[in-house]
Amino acid sequence: MSDPTLERDTALRGRARAVIPGGMYGHQNATLLPEGFPQYFAEGEGCRVRDVDGNEYIDFMCSYGPILLGHRHPAVEEAVRDQLARGDCFNGPGEAMVELAERLVERVDHADWALFQKNGTDATTLCVTVARAATGRSKVLVAAGAYHGAAPWCTPIPAGVVAEDRANVATFPYNDLTGLREAADAAGDDLAAVLVSPLKHDVFVDEELVDPAFARGLRALCDERGALLLLDEVRAGLRMGRGGSWEALGVAPDLSAWSKALANGYPIAAVLGAEAAREAAAQVFSTGSFWFSALPMVAALATLAQAEREDAHARVVHAGERFRAGLAEQSARHDLSLRQSGPPQMPMLLFDDDPQFEIGRAFTAAAARRGVYLHPYHNLFLCAAHDDASIDAALERTDLAFRDARAARPATRGAPCSR
Protein backbone atom coordinates (compact mmCIF):
# COMPACT_ATOMS: atom_id res chain seq x y z
CA MET A 1 0.00 0.00 0.00
CA SER A 2 1.46 3.34 -1.00
CA ASP A 3 1.06 6.24 1.39
CA PRO A 4 -1.71 8.66 0.54
CA THR A 5 -0.64 12.01 -0.80
CA LEU A 6 -1.02 15.12 1.31
CA GLU A 7 0.22 17.40 -1.44
CA ARG A 8 -2.58 19.94 -1.33
CA ASP A 9 -2.57 19.84 2.48
CA THR A 10 1.17 20.56 2.49
CA ALA A 11 0.74 23.48 0.12
CA LEU A 12 -2.02 24.95 2.25
CA ARG A 13 0.13 24.60 5.37
CA GLY A 14 2.83 26.54 3.60
CA ARG A 15 0.45 29.36 2.67
CA ALA A 16 -0.99 29.34 6.21
CA ARG A 17 2.43 29.87 7.79
CA ALA A 18 2.50 33.30 6.12
CA VAL A 19 -0.89 34.53 7.36
CA ILE A 20 -1.79 32.49 10.49
CA PRO A 21 0.42 32.72 13.61
CA GLY A 22 2.27 29.44 14.05
CA GLY A 23 0.59 28.12 10.91
CA MET A 24 -2.49 27.05 12.92
CA TYR A 25 -3.75 27.36 16.49
CA GLY A 26 -5.96 25.75 19.08
CA HIS A 27 -7.18 22.20 19.47
CA GLN A 28 -7.32 21.55 15.73
CA ASN A 29 -3.66 22.44 15.17
CA ALA A 30 -2.37 19.41 13.23
CA THR A 31 1.26 20.56 13.44
CA LEU A 32 1.20 18.90 16.88
CA LEU A 33 0.04 15.60 15.39
CA PRO A 34 2.26 12.98 13.77
CA GLU A 35 3.15 13.18 10.11
CA GLY A 36 0.37 11.65 8.06
CA PHE A 37 -2.47 13.53 9.73
CA PRO A 38 -4.12 16.05 7.41
CA GLN A 39 -4.76 19.63 8.55
CA TYR A 40 -7.43 20.62 6.02
CA PHE A 41 -10.73 18.86 5.31
CA ALA A 42 -13.03 19.02 2.31
CA GLU A 43 -16.15 17.02 3.12
CA GLY A 44 -17.86 14.44 5.30
CA GLU A 45 -20.82 12.09 5.41
CA GLY A 46 -21.88 9.72 8.17
CA CYS A 47 -18.77 8.55 10.00
CA ARG A 48 -16.46 9.30 7.06
CA VAL A 49 -14.53 12.45 6.22
CA ARG A 50 -12.35 13.38 3.27
CA ASP A 51 -9.33 15.67 3.38
CA VAL A 52 -8.45 18.26 0.74
CA ASP A 53 -6.34 15.67 -1.12
CA GLY A 54 -9.30 13.32 -1.42
CA ASN A 55 -8.13 10.81 1.17
CA GLU A 56 -11.01 9.25 3.10
CA TYR A 57 -10.96 8.49 6.83
CA ILE A 58 -13.32 6.68 9.16
CA ASP A 59 -13.61 9.48 11.68
CA PHE A 60 -13.21 8.73 15.39
CA MET A 61 -12.82 12.37 16.48
CA CYS A 62 -16.15 13.60 15.10
CA SER A 63 -14.84 17.17 14.87
CA TYR A 64 -13.62 16.84 18.50
CA GLY A 65 -17.15 16.12 19.67
CA PRO A 66 -19.80 18.07 17.77
CA ILE A 67 -20.79 15.30 15.37
CA LEU A 68 -23.21 13.05 17.31
CA LEU A 69 -25.40 11.57 14.57
CA GLY A 70 -22.81 11.49 11.81
CA HIS A 71 -21.67 14.16 9.40
CA ARG A 72 -24.48 15.79 7.41
CA HIS A 73 -27.25 13.72 8.93
CA PRO A 74 -30.23 14.09 6.56
CA ALA A 75 -32.69 15.03 9.32
CA VAL A 76 -30.46 17.85 10.55
CA GLU A 77 -29.50 19.03 7.08
CA GLU A 78 -33.13 19.24 6.02
CA ALA A 79 -33.96 21.48 8.98
CA VAL A 80 -30.91 23.63 8.20
CA ARG A 81 -31.83 24.00 4.52
CA ASP A 82 -35.40 24.95 5.46
CA GLN A 83 -34.13 27.67 7.77
CA LEU A 84 -31.52 28.89 5.27
CA ALA A 85 -34.30 29.49 2.76
CA ARG A 86 -35.72 32.01 5.24
CA GLY A 87 -32.54 33.37 6.83
CA ASP A 88 -30.40 32.89 9.91
CA CYS A 89 -29.52 36.09 11.74
CA PHE A 90 -32.15 38.83 12.35
CA ASN A 91 -33.00 41.57 14.86
CA GLY A 92 -34.36 38.87 17.13
CA PRO A 93 -34.40 35.09 17.37
CA GLY A 94 -36.79 32.80 15.55
CA GLU A 95 -39.43 30.78 17.33
CA ALA A 96 -37.00 27.85 17.31
CA MET A 97 -35.29 29.49 20.29
CA VAL A 98 -38.34 29.10 22.50
CA GLU A 99 -38.95 25.57 21.33
CA LEU A 100 -35.30 24.62 21.92
CA ALA A 101 -35.39 26.01 25.47
CA GLU A 102 -38.61 24.03 26.08
CA ARG A 103 -37.13 20.78 24.73
CA LEU A 104 -33.97 21.12 26.83
CA VAL A 105 -35.94 21.90 29.97
CA GLU A 106 -38.08 18.80 29.33
CA ARG A 107 -35.09 16.64 28.60
CA VAL A 108 -32.57 17.62 31.28
CA ASP A 109 -33.86 16.93 34.78
CA HIS A 110 -32.24 19.77 36.67
CA ALA A 111 -33.10 22.43 34.10
CA ASP A 112 -35.88 24.98 34.50
CA TRP A 113 -34.54 27.47 31.96
CA ALA A 114 -31.96 27.91 29.19
CA LEU A 115 -29.66 30.61 27.82
CA PHE A 116 -27.87 30.18 24.50
CA GLN A 117 -24.34 31.08 23.40
CA LYS A 118 -21.84 29.93 20.77
CA ASN A 119 -18.87 28.17 22.46
CA GLY A 120 -18.19 25.96 25.43
CA THR A 121 -16.11 28.72 26.99
CA ASP A 122 -19.06 31.12 26.66
CA ALA A 123 -21.23 28.65 28.58
CA THR A 124 -18.78 27.78 31.38
CA THR A 125 -17.87 31.46 31.83
CA LEU A 126 -21.55 32.38 32.02
CA CYS A 127 -22.15 29.62 34.61
CA VAL A 128 -19.43 31.13 36.79
CA THR A 129 -20.77 34.66 36.33
CA VAL A 130 -24.35 33.60 37.16
CA ALA A 131 -23.08 31.74 40.24
CA ARG A 132 -21.30 34.88 41.42
CA ALA A 133 -24.40 36.98 40.78
CA ALA A 134 -26.54 34.44 42.66
CA THR A 135 -24.27 34.15 45.70
CA GLY A 136 -22.55 37.52 45.84
CA ARG A 137 -19.32 35.55 46.27
CA SER A 138 -16.13 35.28 44.19
CA LYS A 139 -14.30 31.97 44.53
CA VAL A 140 -14.67 29.06 42.11
CA LEU A 141 -13.15 25.61 42.53
CA VAL A 142 -12.22 23.53 39.47
CA ALA A 143 -10.71 20.06 39.26
CA ALA A 144 -6.92 20.23 38.90
CA GLY A 145 -5.63 19.39 35.46
CA ALA A 146 -9.09 19.44 33.95
CA TYR A 147 -9.50 21.45 30.79
CA HIS A 148 -12.34 23.91 30.92
CA GLY A 149 -11.96 26.43 28.14
CA ALA A 150 -9.93 28.99 26.31
CA ALA A 151 -10.52 32.27 28.15
CA PRO A 152 -7.84 33.72 30.44
CA TRP A 153 -9.58 32.47 33.62
CA CYS A 154 -9.64 28.86 32.39
CA THR A 155 -7.04 28.35 29.66
CA PRO A 156 -4.45 25.60 30.19
CA ILE A 157 -1.75 27.79 28.54
CA PRO A 158 -0.36 30.74 30.54
CA ALA A 159 0.58 33.11 27.67
CA GLY A 160 -1.16 36.46 28.17
CA VAL A 161 -2.82 35.43 31.45
CA VAL A 162 -2.36 37.80 34.40
CA ALA A 163 -2.56 36.90 38.08
CA GLU A 164 -5.94 38.54 38.59
CA ASP A 165 -7.50 36.28 35.93
CA ARG A 166 -6.90 33.31 38.25
CA ALA A 167 -7.11 35.07 41.62
CA ASN A 168 -10.52 33.56 42.37
CA VAL A 169 -9.94 30.13 40.89
CA ALA A 170 -8.59 27.30 43.06
CA THR A 171 -8.25 23.61 42.35
CA PHE A 172 -9.06 20.29 43.97
CA PRO A 173 -8.22 16.73 42.90
CA TYR A 174 -11.01 15.05 40.89
CA ASN A 175 -12.80 12.27 42.81
CA ASP A 176 -11.16 13.33 46.08
CA LEU A 177 -13.70 14.54 48.66
CA THR A 178 -11.05 15.30 51.25
CA GLY A 179 -9.13 17.48 48.81
CA LEU A 180 -12.35 19.15 47.74
CA ARG A 181 -13.25 19.93 51.34
CA GLU A 182 -9.80 21.43 51.97
CA ALA A 183 -10.15 23.66 48.92
CA ALA A 184 -13.65 24.70 50.03
CA ASP A 185 -12.36 25.46 53.52
CA ALA A 186 -9.66 27.67 52.01
CA ALA A 187 -12.31 29.58 50.03
CA GLY A 188 -14.28 30.01 53.25
CA ASP A 189 -17.47 32.03 53.03
CA ASP A 190 -16.46 33.41 49.62
CA LEU A 191 -17.12 30.13 47.78
CA ALA A 192 -19.46 30.87 44.87
CA ALA A 193 -19.30 27.60 42.97
CA VAL A 194 -17.60 24.32 42.15
CA LEU A 195 -17.23 23.61 38.42
CA VAL A 196 -16.69 20.00 37.44
CA SER A 197 -16.92 17.84 34.34
CA PRO A 198 -19.08 14.66 34.48
CA LEU A 199 -15.94 12.56 34.07
CA LYS A 200 -12.26 13.44 34.05
CA HIS A 201 -11.36 13.74 30.37
CA ASP A 202 -8.06 15.54 30.09
CA VAL A 203 -5.49 15.22 27.33
CA PHE A 204 -2.38 13.03 27.83
CA VAL A 205 -3.80 10.94 30.73
CA ASP A 206 -6.29 8.14 31.29
CA GLU A 207 -9.89 9.17 31.58
CA GLU A 208 -11.51 8.65 34.95
CA LEU A 209 -15.22 8.07 35.54
CA VAL A 210 -16.73 9.95 38.45
CA ASP A 211 -17.00 8.09 41.75
CA PRO A 212 -20.73 8.27 42.59
CA ALA A 213 -19.86 8.90 46.24
CA PHE A 214 -17.73 11.87 45.15
CA ALA A 215 -20.56 13.31 43.05
CA ARG A 216 -22.99 12.97 45.95
CA GLY A 217 -20.47 14.38 48.41
CA LEU A 218 -19.84 17.33 46.10
CA ARG A 219 -23.57 18.05 45.94
CA ALA A 220 -23.81 17.86 49.74
CA LEU A 221 -20.79 20.14 50.18
CA CYS A 222 -22.25 22.76 47.82
CA ASP A 223 -25.55 22.68 49.72
CA GLU A 224 -23.78 22.93 53.07
CA ARG A 225 -21.64 25.90 51.94
CA GLY A 226 -24.34 27.69 49.95
CA ALA A 227 -22.29 27.35 46.75
CA LEU A 228 -23.58 26.38 43.31
CA LEU A 229 -22.64 23.12 41.61
CA LEU A 230 -21.78 23.76 37.95
CA LEU A 231 -21.56 20.75 35.62
CA ASP A 232 -19.37 21.20 32.53
CA GLU A 233 -21.24 19.05 29.97
CA VAL A 234 -19.48 20.72 27.03
CA ARG A 235 -17.56 17.61 26.00
CA ALA A 236 -19.71 14.84 27.48
CA GLY A 237 -23.25 16.20 27.03
CA LEU A 238 -25.58 13.93 24.97
CA ARG A 239 -22.86 11.26 24.71
CA MET A 240 -23.04 10.15 28.35
CA GLY A 241 -26.81 10.04 28.46
CA ARG A 242 -30.08 11.19 26.97
CA GLY A 243 -30.21 14.09 29.44
CA GLY A 244 -27.70 15.30 32.02
CA SER A 245 -24.65 13.07 32.46
CA TRP A 246 -25.12 12.68 36.23
CA GLU A 247 -28.85 11.93 36.15
CA ALA A 248 -28.17 8.20 36.50
CA LEU A 249 -26.33 9.01 39.75
CA GLY A 250 -29.22 11.11 41.03
CA VAL A 251 -26.97 14.15 41.37
CA ALA A 252 -28.39 17.40 40.00
CA PRO A 253 -26.23 20.45 39.35
CA ASP A 254 -27.56 23.98 39.78
CA LEU A 255 -26.24 25.04 36.38
CA SER A 256 -24.85 23.06 33.46
CA ALA A 257 -22.84 24.18 30.41
CA TRP A 258 -23.47 22.50 27.05
CA SER A 259 -22.12 22.89 23.56
CA LYS A 260 -20.34 20.52 21.18
CA ALA A 261 -22.90 17.80 20.32
CA LEU A 262 -26.06 19.87 20.80
CA ALA A 263 -26.61 20.69 17.14
CA ASN A 264 -24.60 17.95 15.37
CA GLY A 265 -21.86 20.36 14.32
CA TYR A 266 -23.64 23.70 14.07
CA PRO A 267 -22.36 26.42 16.40
CA ILE A 268 -24.32 26.67 19.64
CA ALA A 269 -23.81 26.45 23.39
CA ALA A 270 -26.29 26.55 26.26
CA VAL A 271 -26.45 27.16 29.97
CA LEU A 272 -29.24 25.22 31.66
CA GLY A 273 -30.24 26.20 35.15
CA ALA A 274 -32.43 25.47 38.13
CA GLU A 275 -35.22 27.78 39.29
CA ALA A 276 -33.17 29.16 42.21
CA ALA A 277 -30.62 30.67 39.81
CA ARG A 278 -33.15 32.13 37.35
CA GLU A 279 -33.19 35.64 38.78
CA ALA A 280 -29.38 35.87 38.81
CA ALA A 281 -29.26 34.58 35.23
CA ALA A 282 -31.69 37.32 34.18
CA GLN A 283 -29.44 39.99 35.71
CA VAL A 284 -26.20 38.95 33.99
CA PHE A 285 -25.57 40.58 30.61
CA SER A 286 -25.06 37.69 28.22
CA THR A 287 -25.04 38.38 24.54
CA GLY A 288 -23.25 37.93 21.25
CA SER A 289 -23.83 39.08 17.70
CA PHE A 290 -24.82 35.57 16.57
CA TRP A 291 -26.19 34.08 19.81
CA PHE A 292 -29.79 34.53 18.59
CA SER A 293 -29.25 33.04 15.11
CA ALA A 294 -31.91 30.56 14.07
CA LEU A 295 -29.89 28.07 12.03
CA PRO A 296 -28.04 26.29 14.88
CA MET A 297 -31.26 26.29 16.92
CA VAL A 298 -33.25 24.41 14.28
CA ALA A 299 -30.23 22.12 13.91
CA ALA A 300 -30.29 21.46 17.66
CA LEU A 301 -34.02 20.72 17.60
CA ALA A 302 -33.52 18.29 14.74
CA THR A 303 -30.53 16.70 16.49
CA LEU A 304 -32.45 16.15 19.73
CA ALA A 305 -35.46 14.72 17.90
CA GLN A 306 -33.38 12.45 15.71
CA ALA A 307 -31.28 11.28 18.66
CA GLU A 308 -34.52 10.12 20.33
CA ARG A 309 -35.91 8.60 17.14
CA GLU A 310 -32.88 6.39 16.50
CA ASP A 311 -31.81 6.00 20.15
CA ALA A 312 -28.50 7.62 19.31
CA HIS A 313 -27.17 7.18 22.83
CA ALA A 314 -27.49 3.38 22.69
CA ARG A 315 -26.04 3.30 19.18
CA VAL A 316 -22.99 5.33 20.20
CA VAL A 317 -22.41 3.10 23.24
CA HIS A 318 -22.74 -0.03 21.10
CA ALA A 319 -20.32 1.30 18.48
CA GLY A 320 -17.80 2.25 21.15
CA GLU A 321 -18.00 -1.16 22.79
CA ARG A 322 -17.51 -2.98 19.50
CA PHE A 323 -14.51 -0.80 18.64
CA ARG A 324 -13.06 -1.22 22.13
CA ALA A 325 -13.35 -5.01 22.04
CA GLY A 326 -11.69 -5.21 18.65
CA LEU A 327 -8.83 -2.91 19.65
CA ALA A 328 -8.24 -4.88 22.85
CA GLU A 329 -7.97 -8.16 20.96
CA GLN A 330 -5.68 -6.66 18.30
CA SER A 331 -3.31 -4.88 20.66
CA ALA A 332 -2.89 -8.03 22.74
CA ARG A 333 -2.19 -10.06 19.61
CA HIS A 334 0.43 -7.53 18.52
CA ASP A 335 1.95 -7.51 22.02
CA LEU A 336 1.25 -3.82 22.55
CA SER A 337 -0.17 -2.91 25.92
CA LEU A 338 -3.03 -0.61 24.99
CA ARG A 339 -4.93 1.09 27.82
CA GLN A 340 -8.52 2.05 26.97
CA SER A 341 -10.02 4.33 29.58
CA GLY A 342 -13.27 6.24 29.93
CA PRO A 343 -16.68 5.41 28.53
CA PRO A 344 -16.88 3.63 25.17
CA GLN A 345 -18.64 6.66 23.65
CA MET A 346 -15.57 8.85 24.19
CA PRO A 347 -12.64 6.57 24.97
CA MET A 348 -8.98 7.46 25.52
CA LEU A 349 -6.38 5.20 23.90
CA LEU A 350 -2.92 5.26 25.51
CA PHE A 351 -0.10 2.72 25.59
CA ASP A 352 1.82 1.44 28.61
CA ASP A 353 5.51 2.38 28.70
CA ASP A 354 4.92 5.23 26.31
CA PRO A 355 5.69 8.42 28.26
CA GLN A 356 6.47 10.43 25.12
CA PHE A 357 3.51 8.97 23.20
CA GLU A 358 5.92 7.49 20.66
CA ILE A 359 3.96 4.26 20.31
CA GLY A 360 0.69 6.22 20.30
CA ARG A 361 2.01 8.53 17.62
CA ALA A 362 3.29 5.66 15.50
CA PHE A 363 -0.03 3.80 15.86
CA THR A 364 -2.29 6.76 15.09
CA ALA A 365 -0.05 7.92 12.21
CA ALA A 366 -0.22 4.42 10.69
CA ALA A 367 -4.01 4.42 11.21
CA ALA A 368 -4.31 7.82 9.51
CA ARG A 369 -2.27 6.61 6.53
CA ARG A 370 -4.66 3.64 6.31
CA GLY A 371 -7.79 5.80 6.55
CA VAL A 372 -8.74 5.78 10.23
CA TYR A 373 -8.68 9.13 12.04
CA LEU A 374 -7.72 8.63 15.72
CA HIS A 375 -5.70 10.81 18.12
CA PRO A 376 -2.49 10.02 20.00
CA TYR A 377 -3.45 11.66 23.33
CA HIS A 378 -6.95 13.19 23.19
CA ASN A 379 -10.09 11.18 23.87
CA LEU A 380 -11.94 9.93 20.79
CA PHE A 381 -15.61 10.52 20.01
CA LEU A 382 -17.93 7.87 18.59
CA CYS A 383 -21.13 8.79 16.76
CA ALA A 384 -24.42 7.12 15.87
CA ALA A 385 -23.28 6.68 12.26
CA HIS A 386 -20.58 4.22 13.34
CA ASP A 387 -22.53 1.13 12.32
CA ASP A 388 -21.06 -2.37 12.70
CA ALA A 389 -19.75 -2.40 9.13
CA SER A 390 -17.85 0.85 9.68
CA ILE A 391 -16.40 -0.32 12.97
CA ASP A 392 -15.31 -3.58 11.35
CA ALA A 393 -13.80 -1.72 8.40
CA ALA A 394 -11.90 0.49 10.82
CA LEU A 395 -10.69 -2.53 12.78
CA GLU A 396 -9.30 -4.17 9.63
CA ARG A 397 -7.11 -1.10 9.22
CA THR A 398 -6.15 -0.68 12.89
CA ASP A 399 -4.92 -4.29 12.84
CA LEU A 400 -2.37 -3.22 10.26
CA ALA A 401 -1.65 -0.02 12.15
CA PHE A 402 -0.85 -1.99 15.31
CA ARG A 403 1.56 -4.11 13.25
CA ASP A 404 3.25 -0.94 11.97
CA ALA A 405 3.44 0.51 15.47
CA ARG A 406 4.87 -2.75 16.82
CA ALA A 407 7.63 -2.52 14.22
CA ALA A 408 8.34 1.11 15.11
CA ARG A 409 8.36 0.52 18.87
CA PRO A 410 11.48 1.91 20.56
CA ALA A 411 14.19 -0.74 20.82
CA THR A 412 14.51 -0.33 24.57
CA ARG A 413 11.05 -1.72 25.20
CA GLY A 414 10.96 -5.16 26.76
CA ALA A 415 14.06 -4.42 28.83
CA PRO A 416 13.61 -2.48 32.06
CA CYS A 417 14.45 1.17 31.58
CA SER A 418 14.51 4.15 33.86
CA ARG A 419 11.85 6.77 33.23
Q: Which of residues 287-316 bind a copy of itself (CB under 8 A)?
A: 287-294
Q: Which of residues 232-251 bind a copy of itself (CB under 8 A)?
A: 234
Q: Which part of the chain contacts a copy of itself (CB under 8 A), choosing from 110-118, 213-221, 318-326, 398-406?
A: 110-118
Counting contacts by CB under 8 A, is residue 217 touching a copy of itself? no
Q: Which of residues 1-20 bind a copy of itself (CB under 8 A)?
A: 8, 12, 15-16, 18-20
Query: Looking at 5, 7, 10, 22, which residue binds a copy of itself (CB under 8 A)?
Result: 22
Q: How far is CA 32 from CA 35, 58, 216, 363, 376, in A?
A: 9, 20, 38, 15, 10
Nearer to a copy of itself (CB atom), residue 177 or residue 236: 236
The edge-to-edge listing of strands for the beta sheet with 56-59 is: 41-45, 48-51, 56-59, 372-373
Which conformational region is residue 266 in: left (phi greater than 0), alpha (psi within -120 to 50 degrees), or beta? beta
Q: How far is CA 265 from CA 39, 71, 189, 262, 295, in A?
A: 18, 8, 41, 8, 11
Q: Which of residues 390-409 bind a copy of itself (CB under 8 A)?
A: none
Counting contacts by CB under 8 A, is residue 198 touching a copy of itself? no
Closest alpha carbon to 239 in 199, 279, 294: 199
Residue 150 forms beta bridges with which residues?
A: none
How far is residue 192's CA from residue 86's CA, in Å, rounded to a whole number? 43
Q: Which part of the chain contacts a copy of itself (CB under 8 A), choosing from 64-72, 195-203, 218-226, 242-250?
A: 64-72
| Distance of closest approach, residue 228 Cβ to a copy of itself, in angstroms | 11
Q: Which of residues 72-101 bind a copy of itself (CB under 8 A)?
A: 72, 77, 80-81, 84, 86-95, 97-98, 101
Query: Looking at 4, 36, 65, 198, which residue binds a copy of itself (CB under 8 A)?
Result: 65
Counting contacts by CB under 8 A, is residue 278 touching a copy of itself? yes
The answer to whether the CB of 64 falls within 8 A of the CB of 379 is no
| Distance of closest approach, residue 96 Cβ to a copy of itself, in angstroms | 9
Counting contacts by CB under 8 A, is residue 279 touching a copy of itself? yes
Cβ-proximal residues to 282 (8 Å cutoff; 6+ apart), any chain: none
